[in-house]
């Protein structure tokens, strides 16, 4: 097996790594776990001053509630096994949110593929619908560019009482680690390292694919929240990429402590598993929590009530080492900081050029309502603005505030210019958020890229584009994920930065779809200066009671027509031509004075009408 | 004192919290009763939607055989009011408390949307606040909602347009004694105008009227 950082590992350990260590570090130092290529870029991004740090961004909504959100890729598994790849992508990000102590409240996706892959859509629908978390939005983009490397990015938002966020770190020696959830099998072994290589690489087999069980996930969610309610959880980390090894080493290391885990205690689905397989298996629907020895029994009782497997997996120790034991034999012992501090690649210098004249690259337009009607977007009874208009709006019961949420990307522009593609996608997400009457709170980003060793400049361009756009808009990046090596036979996907943007909205100020004249307002080319003007126009028109939509593609508006008809309205609209990147919006207004007050320097064209059906 | 309503929770039920919230909004005092529990002593029993036991064998099939379901049967046979929504409707059918079957939608996919419905029976504890023949909107969210008729059921609710291939566009039926109501649409999702339409509220208020009026079935 080839392991890129073998020499580095040997140097850090001061000896030859054992075969178990090579298996372990191949996972932990993969891009998916270790962020070797992206960590230094991530450090450049603007941070939220009011965020509570952890494994997902936490931002306050009001005096009581905070939102937690994160996006994650599941590209490589979905390429090999669309159904389970996509399903477990949803499951994984939901657990990430849950581990913070938040109840999963909304999920979204961003899908790019060569043609509509039913397996992917079905995987998301079957899993998401079953666990009772509404799928409230997403994007579906079809292009040959993604034929061999589909992108499946899943985002989740959770809500949590501000003072009840669960830390993802150990806090004292003798704290015990309790594992619960589904039984552990061989599925997903080396999933993380497979996710960090070319699709024709040696790990691209179905063995690397995780298999999802949404029923188990639902039980896990309820069990975890019950434990939290009883005050039993002192720290938590879901088991995702890197399995037991990743979750437990991160918990200990974040608290500047060590850990010992007993692998023979892990409930197995396949009894003949090797100890190293137990250590790195990526079987789904599992969670590790930290608690005191006294509270551990009650945790296991709750897990069993919810029909889950459970065991005391290990404990936190003073010595800063990670020790994995199997039947009284130490199978691996290394300084814990070596695991959680992978080698980091340097930032590649980049200076942006002028905005290019973008060409239309046709990404086939799929009627999105065909997809979102397959998702339960209403369960939870908090969906105020449903999918189909842009960002969805969710309320929080008992609060006068809610949040907007959207996923957005521009791979078509990214293909032409990685920097500007990312920059424009980010500002468009801001435009969409303002259009529904929300103010941006924070961004979670999913970097989807080809091979950074082959072409480091494109990755750098994306990261600089994100940084500059966030600084321009004054929006922090609170969490994110990177999927690199999206190549097949050396051919990369277009640099595709997916932006997940959450905004804060006052429920009393929401404008719902209504009758009125329809206008296009703004310029048919994109510029930062135009954008700034348009954002102010949006704010003014929204407070005037106008309903605003901000599509990046205006050629086909059938989706809006269908969504309006769901609301009992008919949208009549002329064909609108638009440049691939523009700074304009569509406004439905039933009071002419609102439009008359728009600055006369800004282009305004009447293009249609919304009537009662 | 508010009437007491039991919200039955099976492993995999996912509309339990929504139903609890809706019952509270309507003026009930709801309580969760889990799959080991007993529904004796409640004024109303609601089987909410979701995917009990992951729907792995057949929608509602495993749940129908749990201890709590046995207590629901006793409760229903004594004339108690039972409301089964979506997966809850599937469970009632698996228990044999309502006639017919629910198969996969003709589209072969899950469908989530607001649909138009017609009220076809108001002479019962669940729909007395509606007008006979009245049109309402409620959301549906199901993959297995195609109602297949057995015998001649008491139809209380029909889709205005065919949405899932159900026989005679049937969306909800009553038991012979009219104390059990099963429907695929979700009234608990239609309680507040903020989320769309609030026709669902009148389902719960009808039940409240019935209980407060001291009515007994049979």
Element counts in chain B: helices (H) and strands (E): 4, 11
Measured between CB atoms, does A145 come within 8 Å of chain B? Answer: no
Kindly report which listed range (A313-322, A479-488, B14-23) carries the lowest average pLDDT score.
A479-488
Burial status of residue A53 (CB atoms within 10 A of its CB: 0-12, 13-18, 19 or more): middle
Alpha carbon A132 to its chain's center: 18
| CATH number for the domain that contains residue A521 | 3.30.70.1670
Instruction: Kindly state the average pLDDT of the residues B207-216.
Output: 86
Give the pLDDT band of residue A2 (cuts 50, 70, 90): low
Measured between CB atoms, does A351 come within 8 Å of chain B? Answer: no
Measured between CB atoms, does A566 come within 8 Å of chain B? Answer: yes
Please name the member of A215, A372, A380 whose beta carbon is closest to the beta carbon of B54: A215
Residue B119 lies in a domain: yes
Please name the member of B18, B22, B54 whose beta carbon is closest to the beta carbon of A130: B54
The beta-strand segments (E) located in A410-568 are 439-448, 477-483, 487-488, 491-492, 496-506, 516-523, 547-549
The beta-strand segments (E) located in A75-199 are 103-113, 135-142, 151-161, 176-181
Q: With pLDDT > 90 as the criterion, what percentage of chain B qualifies?
A: 86
Residue A607 lies in a domain: yes
Query: Taking 60 as the threshold, does the pLDDT of residue A53 lie above it?
Result: no
- CB-CB neighbors (< 8 A) of A566 in chain B: 113-114
Residue A603 lies in a domain: yes
Contact A307 B112 (CB under 8 A): no
Give strand pairing partners of A517.
A589, A609
Among the options B66, B86, B118, B142, which is catalytic? B86
Burial status of residue A162 (CB atoms within 10 A of its CB: 0-12, 13-18, 19 or more): middle
For A470-525, write each residue's pLDDT tens digit: 999 999 999 999 999 999 988 999 999 999 999 999 999 999 999 999 999 999 99
Give the pLDDT band of residue A84 (cuts 50, 70, 90): confident
ipTM of predicted assembly, 2 dp = 0.94
* Whole-angstrom distance, CA of residue A160 vs CA of residue A514: 33
Query: Taking 50 as the threshold, does the pLDDT of residue A1 lie above it?
Result: no
Global pTM reads 0.94
Kindly report which listed range (A30-39, A504-513, A601-610) carries the lowest average pLDDT score.
A30-39
Answer positive or negative: Cα dihedral of A249, A255, A257, A259.
Answer: negative
Nearest Cα residue to A169 out of A241, A94, A248: A248
Query: Taking 60 as the threshold, does the pLDDT of residue A206 lie above it?
Result: no
Instruction: Kindly state the average pLDDT of the residues A410-421.
Output: 96
Measured between CB atoms, does A344 come within 8 Å of chain B? Answer: no
- CB-CB neighbors (< 8 A) of A129 in chain B: 51, 110, 112, 141, 143
Residue A530 lies in a domain: yes
pLDDT of amino acid A32: 78
Pairing label, strands A477-483, A439-448: parallel
Query: Taking 80 as the threshold, does the pLDDT of residue A422 lie above it?
Result: yes
For B128-150, write each residue's pLDDT tens digit: 999 999 999 999 999 999 999 99
Mean residue pLDDT of chain A comes to 91
CA-CA-CA-CA dihedral for B21, A286, A162, B50, to nearest 10: -10
Contact A125 B141 (CB under 8 A): no
For A137-175, write each residue's pLDDT tens digit: 998 888 999 999 999 999 999 999 998 999 999 999 999
CA distances from B148 to A136, A485, B113, B151 (A): 31, 50, 21, 10
Residue A372 lies in a domain: no
For A125-140, write each residue's pLDDT tens digit: 889 899 999 999 998 8
SS3 B93: helix
Are A210 and A308 contacting, i.e. CB atoms less than 8 angstroms apart?
Answer: no
* Whole-angstrom distance, CA of residue A105 vs CA of residue A379: 9
Are A81 and A188 contacting, i.e. CB atoms less than 8 angstroms apart?
Answer: no
pLDDT of amino acid A408: 96
Alpha carbon B152 to its chain's center: 19
More confident residue, B117 or A36: B117
Residue B217 lies in a domain: no
Residue A546 lies in a domain: yes
CB proximity list for A52: less than 8 A, separation 6 or greater: A58, A66, A162, A165
pLDDT of amino acid B218: 42
A215: closest CA of chain B, how far (Å): 5
Instruction: Kindly state the average pLDDT of the residues A197-219.
Output: 70
First vs last C-alpha separation in chain B: 25
* Whole-angstrom distance, CA of residue A526 vs CA of residue A598: 19
Q: With pLDDT > 70 as the criterion, what percentage of chain A qualifies?
A: 95
CB proximity list for A121: less than 8 A, separation 6 or greater: A86, A111, A371, A374
Residue A181 lies in a domain: no
CA-CA-CA-CA dihedral for A231, A237, A243, A244, to nearest 10: -50
* Whole-angstrom distance, CA of residue B160 vs CA of residue B162: 7
Nearest CA in chain B to A221: B12
Query: Taking 60 as the threshold, does the pLDDT of residue B217 lie above it?
Result: no
More confident residue, A568 or A469: A469
Give the pLDDT band of residue A197 (cuts 50, 70, 90): low
Total domains in the fold of chain B: 1
Domain that holds residue B208: 4-212
pLDDT of amino acid B128: 96
Nearest CA in chain A to B48: A379
Q: With pLDDT > 70 as the criterion, what percentage of chain B qualifies?
A: 98
| CATH number for the domain that contains residue B65 | 3.40.50.880
Packing angle of the helix pair B16-26, B201-212 (nearest 10 deg): 60
* Whole-angstrom distance, CA of residue B40 vs CA of residue B25: 23
Total domains in the fold of chain A: 1
Contact B112 A378 (CB under 8 A): yes
Answer positive or negative: Cα dihedral of A320, A326, A328, A331.
Answer: negative
For B45-62, write each residue's pLDDT tens digit: 999 999 887 777 777 788
For A232-279, write each residue's pLDDT tens digit: 999 999 998 889 999 999 999 999 999 999 999 999 988 889 999 999
Residue B22 lies in a domain: yes
Are A462 and A414 contacting, i.e. CB atoms less than 8 angstroms apart?
Answer: yes
Query: Taking 80 as the threshold, does the pLDDT of residue A25 lie above it?
Result: yes
Measured between CB atoms, does A399 come within 8 Å of chain B? Answer: no
Domain that holds residue A581: 511-613
Give the pLDDT band of residue A205 (cuts 50, 70, 90): low
Query: Taking 50 as the threshold, does the pLDDT of residue A389 lie above it?
Result: yes
């Amino acid at each position: 097996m080839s392991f890129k950082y073998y020499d580095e590992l040997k140097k850090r350990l001061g000896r030859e790594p054992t075969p178990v260590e090579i298996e372990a570090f191949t996972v932990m130092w993969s891009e998916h776990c270790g962020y070797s290529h992206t960590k230094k870029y991530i450090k450049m991004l603007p941070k939220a001053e009011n965020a509570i740090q952890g494994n997902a961004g936490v931002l306050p909504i009001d005096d009581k509630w905070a939102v937690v959100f994160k996006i994650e890729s599941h590209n490589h598994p979905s390429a090999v096994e669309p159904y389970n790849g996509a399903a477990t992508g949803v499951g994984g990000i939901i657990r990430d949110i849950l581990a913070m102590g938040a109840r999963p409240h909304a999920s979204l996706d961003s899908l790019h593929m060569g043609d509509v892959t039913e397996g992917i859509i079905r995987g998301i629908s079957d899993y998401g619908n079953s666990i009772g978390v509404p799928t409230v939005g997403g994007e579906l983009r079809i292009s040959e560019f993604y034929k061999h490397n589909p992108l499946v990015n899943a985002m989740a938002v959770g809500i949590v009482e501000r003072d009840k966020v669960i830390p993802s770190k150990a806090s004292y020696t003798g704290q015990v680690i309790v594992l619960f959830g589904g039984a552990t099998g061989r599925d997903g072994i080396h999933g993380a390292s497979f996710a960090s290589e070319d699709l024709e690489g040696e790990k691209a087999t179905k063995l690397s694919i995780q298999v999802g069980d949404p029923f188990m996930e639902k039980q896990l969610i309820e069990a975890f929240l019950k434990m939290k309610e009883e005050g039993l959880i002192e720290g938590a980390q879901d088991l995702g990429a890197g399995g037991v090894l990743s979750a437990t080493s991160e918990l200990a290391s974040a608290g500047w402590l060590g850990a010992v885990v007993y692998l023979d205690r892990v409930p197995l689905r396949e009894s003949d598993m090797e100890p190293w397989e137990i250590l790195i298996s990526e079987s789904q629907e599992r969670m590790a929590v930290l608690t005191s020895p006294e509270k551990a029994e009650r945790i296991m009782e709750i897990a069993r009530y919810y029909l889950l497997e459970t065991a005391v997996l290990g404990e936190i120790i003073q010595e800063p080492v990670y020790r994995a034991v199997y039947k009284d034999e130490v199978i691996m012992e290394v300084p814990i900081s070596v695991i959680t501090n992978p080698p980091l690649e340097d930032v590649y210098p980049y200076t942006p050029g002028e905005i290019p004249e973008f060409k239309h690259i046709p990404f086939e337009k799929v009627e999105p309502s065909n997809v979102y009607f397959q998702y339960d977007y209403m369960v939870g009874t908090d969906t105020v603005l449903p999918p189909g208009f842009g960002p969805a709006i969710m309320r929080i019961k008992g609060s006068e505030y809610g949040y907007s949420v959207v996923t957005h990307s521009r791979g078509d522009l990214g293909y032409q210019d990685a920097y500007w593609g990312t920059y424009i996608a980010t500002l468009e997400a801001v435009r969409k958020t303002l259009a529904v009457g929300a103010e941006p709170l924070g961004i979670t980003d999913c970097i989807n890229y080809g091979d950074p060793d082959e072409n480091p400049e494109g990755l750098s361009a994306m990261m600089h584009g994100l940084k500059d756009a966030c600084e321009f808009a004054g929006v922090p990046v609170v969490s994110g994920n990177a999927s690199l090596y999206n190549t097949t036979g050396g051919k990369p996907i277009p640099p595709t930065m997916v932006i997940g943007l959450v905004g804060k909205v006052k429920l009393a100020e929401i404008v719902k779809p209504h009758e009125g004249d329809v206008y296009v307002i703004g310029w048919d080319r994109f510029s930062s200066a135009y954008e700034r003007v348009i954002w102010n126009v949006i704010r003014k028109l929204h407070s005037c009671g106008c309903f605003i939509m901000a599509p990046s593609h205006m050629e086909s508006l059938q989706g809006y027509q269908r969504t309006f008809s769901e609301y009992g309205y008919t949208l009549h609209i002329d064909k609108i031509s638009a440049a691939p990147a523009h700074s304009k919006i569509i406004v439905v207004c039933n009071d002419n004075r609102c439009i008359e007050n728009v600055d006369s320097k800004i282009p305004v064209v009447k293009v249609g009408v919304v009537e009662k059906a | 004192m508010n009437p007491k309503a039991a919200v039955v929770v099976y492993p995999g039920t996912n509309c339990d919290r929504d139903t609890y919230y809706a019952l509270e909004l309507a003026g009930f005092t709801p309580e969760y009763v889990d799959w080991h529990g007993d529904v004796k002593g409640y004024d109303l029993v609601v089987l909410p939607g979701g995917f009990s036991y992951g729907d792995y064998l057949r929608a509602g099939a495993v749940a129908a055989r749990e201890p709590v379901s046995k207590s629901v049967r006793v409760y229903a046979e004594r004339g108690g009011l039972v409301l089964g929504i979506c997966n809850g409707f599937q469970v009632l059918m698996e228990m044999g408390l309502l006639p017919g079957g629910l198969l996969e939608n003709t589209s072969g996919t899950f469908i989530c949307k607001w649909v138009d419905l017609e009220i076809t029976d108001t002479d019962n504890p669940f729909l007395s606040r509606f007008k006979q023949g009245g049109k309402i909107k409620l959301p549906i969210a199901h993959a297995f909602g195609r109602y297949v008729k057995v015998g001649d059921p008491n139809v209380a609710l029909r889709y205005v347009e065919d949405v899932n291939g159900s026989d005679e566009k049937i969306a909800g039926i009553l038991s012979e004694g009219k104390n059990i109501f099963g429907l695929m649409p979700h009234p608990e999702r239609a309680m507040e105008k903020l989320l769309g339409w609030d026709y669902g509220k009148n389902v719960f208020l009808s039940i409240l009227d019935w209980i407060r009026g001291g009515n007994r079935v049979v």
